[in-house]
Every structure is written in structure tokens, then in C-alpha cells.
Chain A
Amino acid sequence: MSNVLTRDVLIKWAPLIVLLVLVLFFTAMEPRFFSLRNFARIGISSAPALMVAIGVTFIIIMGSIDLSMEGTVSVCAVVFAFAFIALGGTLASWAWLAIPLALLVGGAIGLVNGLVHVLLKIPSFMASLAMGFVGTGFALLLTGGDRIRVEDDLFRSLLTERWFGFPIMCYVALLFLLIAWFIQSRTTLGRNFYAVGGGEELAHASGLNVNRVRIMGFALAGVFYAVGALLAVGRIGIAETATGSNFMFVSITSVVVGGTALWGGIGGVWNTLIGVLIVNVINNGMVVIGLPGYVQDGVLGILVIAAVVLSTDRKSVTFVK
């Protein structure tokens, strides 16, 4: 038994255990929590956040941070909505081109973000935060504060069409999770993220072009933010400057709660999936068991700290910055 339940194994599986305990807890408090329909609701609220969180996972694995997601998501959502409507307003027409366009825009913003960070030698924290503001401002400039409605039934089937009880957007998110997993584990770029995060000097000394890896990481993250933006628009049928709001907190919390270390080199996209589910289960569960609104934020904060304590191996770090 002691061979199986070593400390390492426990740490590795801790986020999943936390998730299961939370599900059991909320079910015990309110049996209606444990139903396929509620899991679908949690799935709907998780799908866009998962995409954004996966994007930032790559950055965090490199030991950097990306705070540009709110601006990037807003710009991608707004550009997508404008292009979608201008090109015909239904997926059955040329308007489908708005989807690759949004992904390109997301990648481009990420690329600029990475270039600013690497070439101007600005810490990723500051560079990305600033790019996020630029993005929010640009989205505002495009919309003038208005909301753009995307009413196409075909596009909205992301939400309205269900397979086995879950809407299509959940499967789209799953597909991109698998793509992210492939990138992480089966490509040179993915392994280079870990190399940079595990020890940048060493990676550099081994001949790795660290700057190139960083820039590509930010561009890749931008593409995932764009996917998140598409799902967010699919969920409520509206693109606006506020589409990106709250994604920063949810995504970074999810990544950390899932067990990816902020100092880099540890974790991955499956951790992020568990992290996103933990955060959304907490959010959904608190309303379902009828916790008053004013204590929910506080409880979320405490649960996040508890989840991080349980799911990260703090013995391996000498100091926390």
C-alpha cells in the first residue's frame, strides 16, 4: 500500500480527489446537483473558460504569465461577430470564414504580445497586462460600446444542439483539449515549454532558442483564447467588449488549482481541465445549495487556497515569489 500511495502519487492525483470530494459534498447537500442536466450546465460554463485556461497553461509551464486574455477574448469575439455578420450571417455561407479569421487574430495578438515581451525585454506580467488593456480598448473602439448579436441558428447550435445530454460546445472544447494535449506531449514545441519552465538557463545552454519558444508560446495561447471567445459568443449569442471579463481570474485560478505550478515546468492541460471543473463546480454548487450571494466570493477564495495547498508540491520550492 505504501508503495502505491507515495507522496508523489498523492500530489499528482490530489486535484482529481479535490474535484470528486467537492462533487460528493454538493451532492450530499443537494441531491439535485448530481444530475446529467446539471453536469451539462457545468459543462457549458466550463467550455469557454477551459479554452482560455489551456492557452495560459502553456505560458505558465514556461514559467511566464499571460494576463492579456480578457482583451484578446474581447477583440476576437468582436472581430468574429463583425466578420460573421458582414460575410452573410450564417455558417452555411462564407461567414464560416469568420472562424479562422478570429483564430488568426487571436494568434496575431499573442504573437505581438510575445514579441513585446521578448524583444523589448519587458516582464511577461507587464507586457501581457498592457496588451490586455490595448485589446479591451481596441474592442471598445470597434464596437463603440454596443453589443453585436450573433443569431444564426446553425452557429448557436453550439449551445442548443445536444449529443448525449451535452451541447456541442462541450465536444468542441474536448476536441481542442485533445489538440492541446497532443501539442504538449507529442511535439517539440510542447516539450520545449517544459524545458524553458524547468530551467531556462539550462535550456539556453543546451542550444534551445528560448526566445523563439516564448514567442510561439504566446501566439499559441492567443489561438486558444480565440477558441474561448468563439465558445463564449456561442454561449450567449452576443459579442461585446465585456465578453472577455472575468476570464483572467477564472483561467489563472483554474490552472493553479489544477496543480500546474506558477514557477513553471510542472503540470499540463489535463491538470487544467480538472482545475476548470473544480472552479465551475464550486461556482455552480454554491448557488445550487443556496449559499447567500455575499458569502460566495469569500468561500470561493478559501476553497481556492485549500485546493492549491492540497494539490501543489510546495516542498520542492525553496521560496515563493
Chain B
Amino acid sequence: MSFIKNYIAQETITRRNLLLASAYGVGGAAISSMLGGMARAAITDPTVAWSYRNRTNPYWNEIVSGGEAFVESLGKPKDFLTHLINEGSSEKSLADVKALLSKTNGELALAIDTNDAPNARPVVESCVEAGAYVSTLWNKTDDLHPWDFGDNYVSHMSWSDEGPAEQTARILLDAMGGSGGVVHLGGIASNNPAIERLAGLKNALKDYPNAELLAAEPADWDTQKANQVMSAFLTRYGDDIKGVHCANDTIAYGVLEALRAEGIEDMPIVSYDGNPQAVELVGEGKILATVFTNPHWGGGITAALAYYAATGHFKPSDEPNEHREFYGPTIMVRPEDAQAFKAEYLDSVPTYDWKDFWSTSNGQIQYK
């Protein structure tokens, strides 16, 4: 049970850091307001922090592991990375950032997912005012741009799921021989990735006149719900279903089990996220494709961008816009390369060059 002990120890430290940070916040507020707004050429040894939702989700665990790998590349111990955990609260996210800014006197390199898009502006403005450097991931509003803040708002990285979801849809439709009925099981209907992944499928279907989208139902990223929705699809459409397009891996697991219950073993299925279990299933040919967004790299590089901008390794305002707002990498995992992919990315984590910021980028973020 030592892992429980470790976990508790780790949580205690995180909490203690936070308390300290909050305590400093009161005292440090006066000083920071004096220094606030001062342009700093470079910070020699900034505190590196990651602010994210929680550690219970494999995705955020991967993000954090990347952040830790990055600080280790600086020759520091893992716990050099300060964790700010917002537990899904934008208010806490902003309050924690402000407390840490006060504690560090603005000598901070911050990587953050601000929990929701509107929260990105106050977070960025607080950092800029304190002279800290910040890189954001996933959430920001469309009118907020790093280049409007000089050097201190270093970068924003996000992913567009429409293109990759269209690619998996094409793989699916080809496997169906280009004809027959497809069902789509989606994420929570209002979630952006859920919308984009369904849009990707619809784009692909335009080129396959003999294929038809029978139904698209939300399965809320949930295995059990996906299982029940798929069973009901089987009742409604029976043998008309020739392929299944899943919005993510956890949905695909539920679909596979619903099919297994009916003795259906060879239904073409595609999925998204590239979780280890899904990659294994791709290797076995039970899923035809999944899309990996490399959260480990994303977590590391976001922290690295803020850090190296803070230390003056590069000057963000000299970089083109496509280096300030860009799409993260996506890797398609197919049965033929599942083994190689697993060996390269999952069995042992590759060592990344944390100064190679943009070589795997998918281009500048586009707004519709």
C-alpha cells in the first residue's frame, strides 16, 4: 500500500505549497504591486508551475508527467515543478495563480489550462502585470492572442479534432467498402471535441455517397452509457450497421462489449485519444484506428515554452504568429503501426528535446 502513502505525502506537499503560497500572497501583494508592470529582460531561475484540473484523469496525469520530465531536463528534481490543481474551478485556478505570482514576485514560468475559456484573460493579464511568463493549453477565447501582450504571454497550444476525426472516418468507410450504415457515438453533446469529431465524420461521408449516417447519439465519454446506446442501435438498425465511429476510446470499449454480447466480432470501429488499452486493441485489429495527441509532450513543451521565454533563451515577440498560437501534434495509430507506436510512446516514454518547440506543430490556429 506504499503507493497510497506516496500519494498522501504528495498531496500534503501540494497542499502545503499552496497554503504557503496563499500566506505569502498577503504579504507579497504590496511588493509585487510595486514591481508590477516592470519589463524584465530575463529571469535567471524562475519557478516552474503547471496549473491543471486534477490528477484523477489519465490525460492530466500524462500532462503532468511531461511537465516533470521537463524540469528534470533542467537538472532539477521532479518536485521543482509546482502543481496548482484547480479541481475544475476557474475561481480557484485564478486565485492560485495570483497567490503564486505574489510568492514568486513574478519570477514565474507558468503552464496552464485555465479550466474554461473566459478565465484565460484574467490569468494572462495577472501574469503580464507581474512580469511572469505564461503559456496556455486548450482553453482561451478567440479574441485573446499572445502577440497582443508582448513577450509575457508566450504561446497557446490547442488541438483541432475535426481533421483527424475525418481521417479515422475515411479509414472506417474504406474498411466498409465505401457503403452501408454508420452509427456515431459521441461525447457530451456541448463539448467542443465532441462537436468537432462528429463534424469530421460528416465531412468524410460527403465523399462516400453509398454510405449513410444512420444515427449519432451522445454517449457522454462514458463506457457504460456507450454500451447501452450501442445495444439500442443494434435493435433499431440490426444488420444495417456496418461500422461504428466513436468519439473517444472509452466509448469504443463500451461499443466493443455491446457487440461481444451479440457475438459480433468483426465490426469495423474507429476511435480517438490513443489510450494504452485502445492502442492494444488497435494492435489486435479490434479497433481500426485511434488518434494520439501526446499529452506527455504537450505538458512538457508548454512548461518549456514559458520557461525558455522567461530565461531569455528566445524572445517570443520575435517569433511569427504561427509559433505563438499553434495546433499540437496528432499521431494516427493503425493496426500495422500499433506495435511500433506502443514501443516508441507507451512502453517507455521517449526523451524529448524540450527546446524543439514547433517541429511537430500542425500549423497556426484558425478561427471560424
A residues with CB within 8 A of B: 30, 32-33, 35, 37-38, 41, 44-45, 140-141, 144-147, 149, 159-160, 167, 232, 235-238, 240-243, 245-246, 283-284, 286-290, 293-294
Contact = CB atoms under 8 A, between A and B. Distances in A.
B261 interface: yes
Task: Tell me what chain A mostly uses at the interface: helix, strand, loop, or mixed.
Answer: helix
Nearest to A137: B56
Contacts of A294: 189
Interface residues of B, dominant DSSP? helix
A145 B60 CA distance: 10
Given A145-B61, A240-B223, 10 more contacts: A37-B235, A45-B231, A145-B56, A149-B277, A235-B261, A236-B253, A236-B257, A243-B224, A246-B222, A290-B215
19 contacts: A32-B238, A35-B235, A44-B231, A144-B61, A145-B55, A145-B61, A147-B277, A160-B263, A240-B223, A243-B224, A245-B222, A246-B225, A283-B228, A283-B232, A284-B235, A286-B232, A287-B217, A287-B235, A293-B216
Given A149-B277, A159-B257, A160-B261, A32 B235 contact: yes
Nearest to B59: A145
A237 B229 contact: no
Looking at chain B, what size class is its interface with the partner chain? Answer: 35 or more
A99 B157 CA distance: 47
Contacts of A33: 235
Interface in B229-281: 229, 231-236, 238, 253-254, 257, 260-263, 277
A284 B227 contact: no
A91 to B, nearest CB: 18
Contacts of B4: 141
Closest 3 CB pairs of A and B: A287-B232, A41-B231, A38-B235
Interface string B31-48: 000000000000000000
A284 B228 contact: yes
Given A145-B58, A145-B61, A293-B217, A287 B236 contact: yes
A38 B218 CA distance: 20
Nearest to B190: A294
Of B222, B228, B253, most A-chain CB atoms within 10 Å: B228
B367 interface: no
Contacts of B238: 32
Contacts of B232: 41, 283-284, 286-288
